[in-house]
Amino acid sequence: MATIPQPKGYPLIGNMAEIDPNAPVQSLMRMARAHGSLFRFDALGQGIVVVSSQALIDELCDETRFQKALHRPLQEARYVAGDGLFTAYDEEPNWGKAHRLLMPAFGPLGLRAMFDRMVDIAEQMMVRWERFGENATIDVADNMTRLTLDTIALCAFDYRFNSLYQNEMHPFVAAMVGGLDETGRRARLPAGAGKLMLLRNRRFEADIKVLRDVSNRLIEERLQDPRLGERGDLLDRMLTAKDSETGLTLSRENVGYQIITFLVAGHETTSGMLSFATWLLLTHPEALAKASAHATRCWGARRPRSTISGG
């Protein structure tokens, strides 16, 4: 039987010395270059297997055998996102309930319904960039964070953060970064040790309160909306739709966790992807020219519209 390669580590901390807490993904990429597309590393006694080839990832994403693994960082993130979809255990009833209720909203028809709002926010950003003029320096990663936070909030909850009109980022962003930073730090320490630092705990609790206040405000405002149940976005669905299997709606507490989950999971990932895509396009002029020609051919000066069909 073949053994999975593992770099040599140290007693107790295992291979943690190889992980730069400020650039964990780059650390794993460096390790993959040295040890191949399948390797194991020891994180404080916990064995983690890392795969990085398309073939192995396809194998792991085979839905007939897929099971979610709530590893340490996700367990710690439950302080922030409770049993929301991302941090729920596979077998937790709220995972199945929310999964069944929300799946259609993320299908092609659900996404088509979000399209005009995506264009609305993208236009806000592009108009702003145009007005800066040709010689301005633009912080792309910062702008993409504003773009994606505003897009997910508008598409999912019909809520406008208006981040592109403010100098400072919405307090939700600082609280989210602080909260994730703390969960990541706790996950790198032996279980329970992270809670011993009182000052950090207080900051963590303050960050969680900001996230909860935002989600509570969204729920409160929607519950008082006379069009509740008719608006058809994710928030409406979460507050009013009944699960086909249990006949129950999501609890208010769980809806709060899902709101935080969508805002966090839906904007960090996409803003990172868009920032990298921009950088790659700018450093590959031939690809940029091809993409630009394609966009001009499809839309010219017209407003982009959804081409997803069906239903």
Query: Is residue 163 within 8 Å of 149, Cβ to Cβ?
Result: yes
Of residues 151-170, those binding ligand HEM (CB under 6 A): 152
Q: H or E segment at 254?
A: helix 252-283
- Name residues whose C-beta falls within 8 Å of residue 101's C-beta, 6 or more positions apart in sequence: 237, 238, 241, 243, 250
Told to check if 111 binds ligand HEM by CB under 6 A, we report: no
Of residues 201-230, those binding ligand HEM (CB under 6 A): none
Q: Which of 119, 118, 140 has its CA nearest to residue 129?
A: 140
Q: How far apart are CA 252 and CA 249, in angstroms?
A: 9
Tell me how far, at minimum, the Cβ of 165 lies from ligand HEM, in Å: 22
From residue 247 to residue 276, the character string flagging contacts with ligand HEM as x (rule: CB under 6 A) and all else as - is: --------------xx--xx--xx--x---
Tell me how far, at minimum, the Cβ of 219 lies from ligand HEM, in Å: 17
**Residue number with CB closer to ligand HEM (58 or 130):** 58
- Name residues whose C-beta falls within 8 Å of residue 57's C-beta, 6 or more positions apart in sequence: 51
Tell me how far, at minimum, the Cβ of 257 lies from ligand HEM, in Å: 10
Of residues 272-301, those binding ligand HEM (CB under 6 A): 273
**Residue number with CB closer to ligand HEM (94 or 124):** 94
Q: Which of 207, 212, 208, 232 has its CA nearest to residue 222?
A: 232
Q: Which of 155, 104, 192, 115 has its CA nearest to residue 266?
A: 155
**Residue number with CB closer to ligand HEM (109 or 289):** 109
Query: Is residue 169 within 8 Å of 211, Cβ to Cβ?
Result: no
Tell me how far, at minimum, the Cβ of 261 lies from ligand HEM, in Å: 5
Tell me which of 45, 93, 99, 165 binds ligand HEM, using CB under 6 A: 99
**Residue number with CB closer to ligand HEM (39 or 262):** 262
**Residue number with CB closer to ligand HEM (33 or 99):** 99
**Residue number with CB closer to ligand HEM (152 or 238):** 152
Q: Which of 213, 187, 189, 186 has its CA nearest to residue 201?
A: 186
Residue number of the CB closest to ligand HEM reads 266
Tell me which of 43, 85, 125, 208 binds ligand HEM, using CB under 6 A: 85
Total residues contacting ligand HEM by CB under 6 A comes to 12
Q: How far apart are CA 230 and CA 24, in angstroms?
A: 43
Query: Tokens 């996230």 belong to which residue?
Result: 211
Tell me which of 68, 100, 160, 231 binds ligand HEM, using CB under 6 A: 68
**Residue number with CB closer to ligand HEM (12 or 291):** 291
Q: How far apart are CA 43 and CA 20, in angstroms?
A: 13
Q: Which of 105, 104, 74, 106 has its CA nearest to residue 90?
A: 74
Residues that bind ligand HEM (CB under 6 A): 68, 85-86, 99, 152, 261-262, 265-266, 269-270, 273
